[in-house]
Every structure is written in C-alpha cells, then in structure tokens.
Amino acid sequence: MAEGRGTYGRRFDSGRSCLDLVATGAEMSGACERIDRPASLAAWLVASRLVPRGTPLETVDETWVARFLRLRTGIDRLMTAQLTGGGGADDDLEQVNALAAGAPPGLRAVRGQGGTLVRAPIADPACGALLAAVARDAVDLLTDPVARAALRRCQGDACRRLYLDTSRGMRRRWCSSEVCGNRERVARHRRRAKALT
C-alpha cells in the first residue's frame, strides 16, 4: 500500500480503516499528530472513506477527537498484542467490542454527475456510528485468520505503522517501499560506502 495525499495531509493506506486510524498517531508516522482537532478528524473520516465526500460533519467536535484517539490507542494495543503472541490488552478488547456493538452509519446509493451511482449518507453520521464502523473493522481483522496472519509492523527504523502484507510470498518489510523501504536502502548504501573508505 502506498502513502498518498489526502485532504488532511499525508495519508497512509494500510488496507483497513482500523489500521489507517492507528497510523494517524505521531508515534506511528514519526511526524506530527494527524488528528489534533475536529477539522483534521473530519478530513480523515472523508479521506479514509468512512463517510462519502460532501457528508455534513458540522457536529464533529473535541469530544469526537477524544473518543477516536481512545479507540486508536486501544486498537494499537490490540494489534501489538496480536503481533507479540496474542495475549493481553483485555481492557482494550472490551472497549473495541463495546464500540463494535453499535450500529454503523447508514449509506445509500444516489445518482452523481453523469448518472453514475455514488455513496451518500442517510443522515448526518453520529460519532458512535463511525466509531462502530472502525471498531467492527478491527474485530473483523482480529477474527479473520487470513487477515490476522498478514498483519505486520513496518521494520523501518523510525516507523511503527501497521499494515496487511498482501505481497506475493508475504515477505514485505515496510509500510511503503517508496518511503521506509527507500530510507533503508539509502542507509544500507551509506553503511557500505562508509565501510569501503
């Protein structure tokens, strides 16, 4: 999966909304906090395709930010526990399960420009509904043996991002070959060049 530009800045696409949420943390990307205010959360919700473009998100406020950050921490701990043997993080599992039990936002198909069908929300999505969608994605990932076996953490020196390894042979080492992989190749080249001098 590549890293691209979203409306809220650089966006990492892990292949799962729950892992994309975890990637928004400063400790994940080695950069700044990606969800630090309501506007950045609203932009992430659109960029991550949890809500269609044009969805009214005027109700997003600081409480939404706090709730999404709590969920992000819980998902990160659960995925880390999974990668290190599957034990622990029971409080986080309880939190994710409780959120996943909520109803996700309703969607409908409407005619867009040119008559093609596009997704549109049934109504303004509530914070709990969007949290439920991300929590359900985490539950789905953790309970799917194939997806769970593909869960990886980037091996880049300054990166802790999580992603699903869908590469042929399941030998992917970095969240992005263009970013972390390139940094590692440059560092390896510098080490070899220094050893020759």
- Rounded CA separation 195/185 (Å): 15
Mean pLDDT of 99-113: 88
The residue whose two tokens read 């919700």 is 45
CA distances from 12 to 15, 33, 58, 102 (A): 9, 13, 25, 26
The confidence score (pLDDT) of residue 9 equals 45
The phi, psi pair for 4, rounded to 5°, reads -130, -175
Res. 44: pLDDT tops 70: yes
Cα–Cα–Cα angle for 106, 110, 114, rounded to 5 degrees: 150
Joined tokens for residue 150: 């593909």
> pLDDT digit string (tens) for 117-150?
988 877 788 999 999 999 999 999 999 999 998 8
